[in-house]
Amino acid sequence: MYLKNTWYVACMPDELEGKPLGRQVCGEKIVFFRGPDGQVAAVEDFCPHRGAPLSLGFMRDGHLVCGYHGLTIGGDGRCASMPGLRIDGVSAIRRVPEIRRFPVIERYGFVWVWTGDVELADPGKLHHLAWAEDANWAYGGGLYHVNCDYRLMIDNLMDLTHETYVHASSIGQPEIEDAAPTTRVDGDHVITSRFMENIKPPPFWATALRGNGLADDVPCDRWQICRFTPPSHVMIDVGVAHAGHGGFDADPQHRAGSIVVDFITPESDTSIWYFWGMARNFKPEDTELTARIREGQAKIFSEDLEILEAQQRNLLANPGRKILNLNIDAGGVRSRRILERLLEDEQRERAALRETQETSDA
């Protein structure tokens, strides 16, 4: 189960260059494309003529052309034209049924989609990304398709104890286990924090220190602050600072810190689109450093995929087995509780909306 009346990252703008993009989000098969005004549009990936996927077609003058018989669809989901579409010598375009359209927003370097009730789509509810509007920050990221329940990825990101084992060669170190995490809930948000003092920086962070012009062979303080925001976003403040300068609160001249960006978009009950990246506010103009960090991150996140997909297969094969929750799982457990409450609220909201619509139609 996943929330529908909310915004999810659907794709990145460069995925729409000159062609339509078919992508399933929250169980909905959707095709994304740019209209004649350059704005992104999203409609169901279903040609109303013979049911072919519209994403197999092509773009012409800002309209989506079905690759089967040439039916042309606009961003409003209506048929614009079709070769030879006439009945008794009269154009029959009006008889072609509309297909569902989905609200979309292009902002912060992503395309976002709302898969629930169109009447409730509120741009004001879009997750705000202050770093994406600040020239003092640089961002680099990518996309993975992962065959797992989106909540398993949230669990993974809200408990970084696994870094010691899964990412031993890059960001993992024994001191992570020795520093107990703390978890708190702030409204619909969950924050899990872990702080380590006077430790050796692991390889990834040693590289980041060098990239910021800092020594990488001195004791450091390290922090990991994971923030869950519904429906499935996790932002993680991470970094290291030379020991004795305040850790997370150290001045920029003594630290190398970033925000790990995780947008988890459900494709189905057991698969996701995982948009990952890192935003940093040191040397934002250094594109070579951005590329190196992105390459390192890609390797780190790819190490999670094998574990998560195997975990999902195991859970599907053992539906009656319960999983054990330990103190380190508090961030994921509380995130799931918030999701369960919001899902119940959404079901009531959608039921009330249907009742109102039925009353007005009567």
Checking if the pLDDT of 140 tops 90, the result is yes
> For a pLDDT cut of 70, what percent of the chain falls above it?
97
Q: How far apart are CA 355 and CA 26, in angstroms?
A: 24
| pLDDT mean over 216-228 | 96
Could you please state the CATH topology (level 3) that the domain comprising 7-124 is classified under: Rieske Iron-sulfur Protein (2.102.10)
38: left (phi over 0), alpha (psi -120 to 50) or beta: left
User: Can you tell me which residue has the tokens 């009730």?
Assistant: 117
| pLDDT mean over 171-187 | 90
Q: How far apart are CA 315 and CA 324, in angstroms?
A: 13
Checking if the pLDDT of 141 tops 80, the result is yes
Rounded to the nearest integer, the mean pLDDT of the chain is 92
How does residue 165 score in pLDDT terms, banded at 50, 70 and 90? confident
pTM exceeds 0.75, yes or no: yes
CA distances from residue 27 to 100, 115, 116, 267 in whole angstroms, order as listed: 14, 9, 11, 6
- Amino acid identity for residue 173 in this structure: Q
Residue ranges matching CATH 3.90.380.10 in the chain: 135-342
Q: 40 or 325, which is more confident?
A: 40
pLDDT digits (tens, 9 = 90+) for 305-361: 999 999 999 999 999 898 888 888 999 999 999 999 999 999 998 888 887 777 776
Can you name the residues that pair with 126 across neighbouring β-strands? none
CA distances from residue 13 to 18, 19, 354 in whole angstroms, order as listed: 11, 11, 34
Q: 127 or 86, which is more confident?
A: 127
Output the pLDDT for position 88: 47
Residue ranges matching CATH 2.102.10.10 in the chain: 7-124
Q: Which CATH superfamily is domain 135-342 in?
A: Naphthalene 1,2-dioxygenase Alpha Subunit; Chain A, domain 1 (3.90.380.10)
Q: How far apart are CA 175 and CA 126, in angstroms?
A: 37
Output the pLDDT for position 91: 56
Q: How far apart are CA 75 and CA 42, in angstroms?
A: 7
> For a pLDDT cut of 90, what percent of the chain falls above it?
72
CA 197 from chain centre, in angstroms, equals 31
Output the pLDDT for position 87: 46
Output the pLDDT for position 97: 85
Output the pLDDT for position 90: 43
| pLDDT mean over 194-199 | 94
Output the pLDDT for position 89: 44
| pLDDT mean over 127-156 | 96
**Distant-in-sequence, close-in-space partners of 232: CB < 8 Å, separation ≥ 6:** 2, 8, 150, 153, 154, 263, 264, 265, 266
Q: Are 294 and 277 in contact (CB under 8 A)?
A: yes
Q: 80 or 299, which is more confident?
A: 299
SS3 state at 33: strand
Output the pLDDT for position 80: 82
